[in-house]
Amino acid sequence: MAALLLGACATPAQRITSNLTELGVPPRQAQCMGGRLGERLSIGQLRRLQELTGLRAERFERMSIREIANKLTDERDPGLVAEFLRAGVGCLI
């Protein structure tokens, strides 16, 4: 119950950071990307990114930024992958 209450209070950046960390992105990079993506993504794009957390649980392995981007690829929303990769590269520098 406490986890649900805390999740409800989390900002988009915090949820993205948590999801990316669960997917295998190193914590520092996930935090940087979470902040950038939380500001730039639409609600629909945030939901799409959140859907990937379930994939990690099924695979039992870490995903690279490239693998995550490949899973996010959708012809209807190329902007999501562009923003994700931009944040990933920007947070490596």
Task: Report pLDDT digits (tens) over 28-73.
Answer: 999 999 999 999 999 988 888 888 766 655 555 678 888 888 888 8
pTM for the whole structure: 0.77
Distance CA 45, CA 80 (A): 6
User: What pLDDT does 89 receive?
Assistant: 92
Report CA-CA distances (Å) from 61 to 37, 57, 73, 78, 90: 23, 8, 20, 26, 24
User: Residue 46 half-sphere exposure, CB side, CA atoms within 13 Å?
Assistant: 18
User: What pLDDT does 70 receive?
Assistant: 86
Tokens 């995903």, residue? 63
User: What pLDDT does 85 receive?
Assistant: 93
User: What pLDDT does 5 receive?
Assistant: 41
